[in-house]
Chains A and B, each alone.
Chain A
Amino acid sequence: MQKLKKISIVLFVVFCLIQLLWIGAPVFMAVLWSLVDVDTPWSYPDMFPKKLSFSQWSYAWNHTNLKRAMVTSYTVATLTSFFTLLISLPTSYILGRKKPRGKRFIETVLLLPIVLPGMVIALFVGRIFTSIGLVQSMGGIVLGHILLGIPYMTRLLTSSFESIPQDVLDAAQDLGTGRIRMIFKIYFPMIRLGFIAGTIFVFIKSIEEFNLSFILGLPTYETIPTMLYTYLGYNFHRTYASIISLILTVPNLIILLLIEQKIKTSLTPRSAAGKG
């Protein structure tokens, strides 16, 4: 028994080390490359940069489209999350509570944007949007991102609506609760987790979306991923690519951690009992 415990500990440590290497090494390299001093390039045969500084960060911040791209990305992601939520709420309610005829078919159709390759969707959407004058516009990009966000949001909200016990709704009705009061006092609190999870998914999906932003927005609206693509493609620049990767990753991680903390708090027995 003691031997088995030891093996478990060793395996756990090995697993942690592999995870650390798997996730940590690329992040470490990105941080290192982003800090290479502009006047002292990191060249062969140096194992590590000779000098580290924030000179490349400063240049990228002041002289590239980074600020504009960040404003565009976060504006698009916020608008996308908001509109996707508004559009998905009624659909999810119908699918989750009313069980309409052809429910499975509707759910499958809603999932199609996830199944099809991103570039294929982007090319066809781009073609349609060009004909109606929606390319190179903020509205076009947001609408495109909404199309990709709807499957995630609808799926999560539908599950949340499905999980509301009918007893609770019946009891509320028996006690004479009005429809508006039902929405705010029963439906919204009970779908809160799906609501938060869906918003995170859509927000992060939108922030990281490349294909649609590339086809619909460039060059008028540059987002963080399209900028990253520029520095990984024709104008390959490892330092700027590292800086942009970190800028893309870190805020998303913080949002994810904060929201996860929020979800955990929501799931504590105290809050679940309605006393939080």
Chain B
Amino acid sequence: MKKVSRILLLSLVIFVLAGLPVMAGGGKEKKEASYDIAAMSWDEIVEQAKKEGTVTHYAWYWKEHWDKMAVDFEKAYGIKATVVVGDETSNFNKAVAEAKLAKGTIDVMNIGGKGVKIAFDENLFYGPLKDIIPNSKYLDKNLLQFQEGFVTKGYFIPQHRNQTGFAYNPDKVKNPPRTWAEFEKWIDEHPKQFGFNDPNKGGSGQSMVHTLIKQLAGGLEKYEGDVDVVESKVADWDNVWNWLKERKDKIVFTSSNADSIVRMNDGELDLIVAWDDDLLNKMKQGVIFDKVKMYIPEFGLAGGGDTFGIPNNAPHKAAAAVWINFLTDQAQQQAMSDGVGAYPARDDIKGTKTNLTTEDRKYAIPWFPACYKKYMIEQFTKQVLMSK
């Protein structure tokens, strides 16, 4: 009997060990790319892309939109685009985990606020792409050089612009606050009806605290060009933390961008900070009533946009470049704006179905450098969330 069980165990171990590499995809070998798209003409890049025949793009939103784009892309170039819609953090974890491999599995990645710093700290991306992608010249010049306060040096190609604003329920808020004085008065008169998310959990909350810093700690100009936090410049941020602590019983801190929207739909909050594209998307999904209104108060809220990047070890760099160029074509940008309500990254077309019009956007403000944003989030946690 002992012999039988030993044989059984041994054969099982051999079976499992033999099967693992196959299940892990270890049997497939990828062809090493031996070209540099920076040294090729656009026609050569397109020709090479067609030879590659496939591109893998990692995103974390708009599944339906990407799928439509992929169908059109295959019709136009005969290249199959596979878009994996996962989670922003997981996508970056995967890119970081693969960074040391000669060949990764990601050709194109969406880069949002969370990813910019990781991208540069870990030297994840190939570039600059600005001079490789022909559509770059039509795209938002600012977003082509800066993202979330970071100098991106043309490594990332703008995909769409987004903006934070105040969203409100017009049935309950007849005259939403537009000036700073009106805003402070509104919060005092409507305790627990204004909310924004914990800045650790999303950009709309970060934008609100960023605006408070602008308003209560002497504007944003003084931070321009800084790559590290200058202690003397953040000395008066205590005004912001004190302002928040005094109103801690009147302001609701939500757990995410989406949570703020859901709480307004449930009637708990009447005025929230939200992303324009996120809100429109939630309206289309039936998550929030469609009577919701949005605006940017006169004291400003930040905006920016998401971009595309190509990892250093992307296996199909030429196909990735052609896919990015396709997504930033006029027709595709218009389709994106009409379909998902995102504001186009191109300067030569306007978003027609967005929540915030071009007129609304005159109060939009740029982000301060990323080093301050990181410090702001840490200090918010320490000074506001952890305080009694």
Are B5's CB and A37's CB within 8 A?
no
Are A136's CB and B22's CB within 8 A?
no
Interface residues of A in 47-97 (CB under 8 A from B): 55-56, 59, 63-65, 83, 86-87, 89-90, 93-94
**Can you pick out 11 interface pairs between chain A and chain B where the beta carbons lie within 8 Å of each other?**
A38-B284, A41-B287, A55-B286, A90-B8, A136-B94, A137-B24, A179-B4, A219-B60, A220-B94, A234-B87, A239-B287
What residues of chain B lie closer than 8 Å to A179, measured between beta carbons?
1, 4
Interface string of B8-21 (1 = CB under 8 A from A): 11001001100111
Number of residue pairs A-B, CB distance < 8 angstroms: 116
- Which of B207-215, B257-265, B335-343, B352-360 is near enough to bind chain A? B257-265
Closest Cβ neighbor of B9 among chain A residues: A90
Are B19's CB and A90's CB within 8 A?
no
User: In the assembled complex, how far is the CB of residue A144 from the closest CB belonging to chain B, in whole angstroms?
Assistant: 12
B186 on the A face (CB < 8 A): no
A30 to B149 alpha-carbon distance, docked (Å): 41
- Which of A105-113, A127-135, A190-198, A261-269 is near enough to bind chain B? A127-135
Are B25's CB and A43's CB within 8 A?
no
Are A234's CB and B201's CB within 8 A?
yes
Are B286's CB and A38's CB within 8 A?
yes
A93 to B1 alpha-carbon distance, docked (Å): 10
Which 4 residue pairs spanning A and B have beta carbons closest together?
Answer: A219-B86, A44-B267, A139-B23, A236-B258
B51 on the A face (CB < 8 A): no
A214 to B88 alpha-carbon distance, docked (Å): 13
Q: State the interface size on chain A (CB cutoff 8 A).
A: 50
A230 on the B face (CB < 8 A): yes
Are A44's CB and B265's CB within 8 A?
yes
Are B19's CB and A63's CB within 8 A?
no
User: In the assembled complex, how far is the CB of residue B100 from the closest CB belonging to chain A, in whole angstroms?
Assistant: 10
A121 on the B face (CB < 8 A): no
Interface residues of A in 133-162 (CB under 8 A from B): 133-140, 142-143
Are A65's CB and B262's CB within 8 A?
no
Interface residues of A in 219-271 (CB under 8 A from B): 219-220, 222, 230, 233-239
B178 on the A face (CB < 8 A): no
Closest Cβ neighbor of A40 among chain B residues: B286
B196 on the A face (CB < 8 A): no
B256 on the A face (CB < 8 A): yes
B387 on the A face (CB < 8 A): no
A39 to B287 alpha-carbon distance, docked (Å): 9
Known contacts A41-B288, A135-B97, A238-B287, A65 near B23 by CB under 8 Å: no
Are B86's CB and A222's CB within 8 A?
yes
A residues touching B (Cβ–Cβ < 8 Å)? 36-45, 55-56, 59, 63-65, 83, 86-87, 89-90, 93-94, 98, 130, 133-140, 142-143, 179, 183, 214, 218-220, 222, 230, 233-239
Are B90's CB and A219's CB within 8 A?
yes
What residues of chain B lie closer than 8 Å to A40, measured between beta carbons?
286
User: In the assembled complex, how far is the CB of residue A85 from the closest CB belonging to chain B, in whole angstroms?
Assistant: 10
B34 on the A face (CB < 8 A): no
What residues of chain B lie closer than 8 Å to A93, measured between beta carbons?
5
What residues of chain A lie closer than 8 Å to B85, measured between beta carbons?
65, 219
Are B90's CB and A41's CB within 8 A?
no
User: In the assembled complex, how far is the CB of residue A170 from the closest CB belonging to chain B, in whole angstroms?
Assistant: 13
User: In the assembled complex, how far is the CB of residue B117 from the closest CB belonging to chain A, in whole angstroms?
Assistant: 18
What residues of chain B lie closer than 8 Å to A90, measured between beta carbons?
5, 8-9, 12
Are B58's CB and A219's CB within 8 A?
yes
Are B105's CB and A219's CB within 8 A?
no
Are A86's CB and B86's CB within 8 A?
no
Closest Cβ neighbor of A183 among chain B residues: B4
Are B290's CB and A235's CB within 8 A?
no
Known contacts A86-B12, A233-B256, A237-B285, A137 near B61 by CB under 8 Å: no
B205 on the A face (CB < 8 A): no
What residues of chain B lie closer than 8 Å to A136, measured between beta carbons?
94, 105
User: In the assembled complex, how far is the CB of residue B69 from the closest CB belonging to chain A, in whole angstroms?
Assistant: 14
Interface residues of B in 79-93 (CB under 8 A from A): 84-88, 90-91
User: In the assembled complex, how far is the CB of residue A2 from the closest CB belonging to chain B, in whole angstroms?
Assistant: 50
Are A236's CB and B63's CB within 8 A?
no
Interface string of B257-294 (1 = CB under 8 A from A): 11100100111100000000000000011111110000
Are B91's CB and A219's CB within 8 A?
yes
B298 on the A face (CB < 8 A): no
**Given A38-B286, A233-B256, 5 other A-B contacts at CB below 8 A?**
A64-B63, A94-B5, A179-B4, A183-B4, A219-B90
Are A63's CB and B64's CB within 8 A?
yes
A36 to B21 alpha-carbon distance, docked (Å): 45
A135 to B97 alpha-carbon distance, docked (Å): 9
User: In the assembled complex, how far is the CB of residue B197 from the closest CB belonging to chain A, in whole angstroms?
Assistant: 10
What residues of chain B lie closer than 8 Å to A86, measured between beta carbons?
12, 15
A135 to B22 alpha-carbon distance, docked (Å): 13
Are A45's CB and B285's CB within 8 A?
no
A93 to B2 alpha-carbon distance, docked (Å): 10
What residues of chain B lie closer than 8 Å to A214, measured between beta carbons?
90
A139 to B18 alpha-carbon distance, docked (Å): 11
What residues of chain B lie closer than 8 Å to A230, measured between beta carbons?
87
What residues of chain A lie closer than 8 Å to B267, measured between beta carbons?
43-45
